[in-house]
Amino acid sequence: MFKKEKKSKKAWIKIVEAFISVILFSAVVLLILSEKSKPETLNEKIHNDQIFLLRYIELNDTLRNEILSAEPDLNWSDFQSDLPLTYNEILLRSPRYLNCEAKLCKEEPCLKEDIIERDVYSESVIITSNLTSYNPRVLKIFCSPR
């Protein structure tokens, strides 16, 4: 009789252990799913849109060559005359909720000179060379919500 009670306790302990492990596993899965389903914040959205725009410019051979052939230290006001294709692409591909400007520099730091009284988000890309020349440039984009 004593052995039967001991076996019964072991069975109940195994059942409780299995139940607790199922609950822990379910909690971890729910935690991971809730983290993934969080909506994208404005900062993340702006960052992703800027990276998308810079990647497009960086990988487009025509825009890349235009940037590499331009003189460095161009402000946004000079883009329309010196980098017309890049200027148009930035205006065309910028999301409507952002007001974006760019600056072309020889090297970092590539800073915006005028002071703006609102949030400005910036990302940069280094465009180094094409098949014929090595002439590194930093293209930095500055965007602020409208």
pLDDT digits (tens, 9 = 90+) for 28-80: 998 888 777 667 788 889 999 999 999 999 899 898 888 888 888 888 888 88
Q: Name the pTM for this structure.
A: 0.68
Cβ–Cβ < 8 Å for 126, 115: no
- Give the C-alpha separation, 71 to 19, whole Å: 69
Tokens 């039967």 belong to residue: 4
User: 4-32 pLDDT, tens per residue?
Assistant: 556 677 788 888 899 999 999 999 998 88
For 143, residues 6+ apart whose C-beta sits below 8 A from its C-beta are 46, 49, 50, 94, 98, 99, 100, 101, 120, 121, 122
The dihedrals phi and psi of 118, each to the nearest 5 degrees, come to: -145, 175
